[in-house]
Structure 1
């Protein structure tokens, strides 16, 4: 049985934005049996001795698959796809294409969006830097828009873990001006987030962090 270590009690600012939601979505898509260990972030459980023994950076999410522990959300999602034999092609080229777009989601697109978020949280006075990073984000998102011109999913003909990662990154900005000039990206994000497995994962997440669905949609 897979145990997902995700957030239970968490500071309000983080609710709906933590990457254990990515992992729970992948678990719901894969059909693998799992349970959730809800961590008390506000009470310091992530820094406690028990969690420190299994988590390299005192971070969630993390999974324990009958003694095999995997950290880092992207690595976890890819592991689940491989284990389930779903959400990733079996051939080398198909698999590599999916992995390419997983890296694009978390590295190229996600890191730039995270930089904007960090500036907004910690240094609202850095207007020039925020403007420069926003331009870079718009460039990456424009490339995603062009890539989606003739396809439904990001890495191939079928929905894969690359779509989980990309949609979760895009979910953070779907209501901002960055998405305004990108109709294909907006439609793609809505298509991904409308999947029943994501809706189940979101409802389960809301329940364990103690908020209503309306607060994190």
Structure 2
């Protein structure tokens, strides 16, 4: 059985979606970042970067959400495009675009809008602009196709879904979806899948700390706050 170390952040939720879609048996092991559990010796041994998700599949350990998606897809032979060099090149390009574009800019947009100390006007403006630009590329992409790679639902959709759940929060307004109708249509379609409903329901399995108090800030933003 796969051990899945997770919390409810976008990157672990990508992996949760795959696990639920594939039907692979797994044990969900909560790691509460606001309590500093990511710095435990046990997790550090699995991922020296002290982040989730991490999976253990027998003797195999994989960290980084996109690496995990690719590992699981190749292990099961599912949620991949047709096996041609052209299709694989397209899949890798869009998967890594989520990894190097959507993820980092979304994460920084959230941090500077909601958590960074003042002054932060420039940083909020920069990351808001880049997050909107990156999501806009996917909105254009989805204007004439049901999924990112066309007719086939793949790990690229799962990777993007993890972050797209945060669009109103990271852009600071519920109306953010209004400017991205194709992405919103795609997001609603994915979110309605039974596996996505089950993945989202992981929030009810374990209790995670919700307060962003001094302890949580100390664990999550160690460069500016020392834990009490």
TM-score if structure 2 supplies the norm length? 0.80
Rounded to whole Å, the distance in 2 between the matches of 1:18 and 1:144 is 17
The match for 1:178 is 176
Cα deviation, 1:117-146, whole Å, max 9, x if unaligned, reads 111211353113322332232222222222
In the alignment, structure 1 residue 102 sits paired with structure 2 residue 95: yes
In structure 1, how many angstroms separate the alpha carbons of the residues matched to 2:135 and 2:13? 22
Q: In structure 2, what is the Cα distance between the partners aligned to 1:170 and 1:116?
A: 13
Is 1:111 the counterpart of 2:104? The answer is yes
Counterpart pick for 2:62 among 70, 80, 83: 70
Q: How much is the aligned-residue C-alpha RMSD, in angstroms?
A: 2.1
Instruction: Figure out how many residues of one structure are paired with residues of the other and give that number.
Output: 203
Distance 1:201 1:101 in 2: 23
Aligned positions of 1:23-172 closer than 5 A: 23-41=15-33, 43-89=35-81, 90-120=83-113, 121-172=115-166
Change (3 A) 1:133 1:68: same
Task: Determine if contact 1:148/1:154 at 8 Å carries over to the other structure.
Answer: yes
Listed as ranges, the gaps of 5+ residues in structure 2 are 210-228
Shift of residue 38, structure 1, vs aligned partner = 2.6
- Alpha-carbon distance, 1:187 to partner: 1.0
Query: Is contact 1:23–1:73 with CA below 8 Å preserved after alignment?
Result: yes
TM-score (normalised: structure 1): 0.84
SS state of the match for residue 63, structure 1?
strand
**1:134–1:204: structure 2 CA closer, same or farther, 3 Å change rule?**
closer
Greater shift in the superposed pair: 88-97 or 68-77: 88-97
Deviations 1:2-39 (A, max 9, x none): 111123xxxxxxxx435222211111111222222233
CA distance in 2, matches of 1:66, 1:97: 31
Q: Is 2:204 the partner of 1:202? A: no
Distance 1:18-1:148 versus aligned 2 partners, 3 A rule: closer
Distance 2:58 2:108 in 1: 36
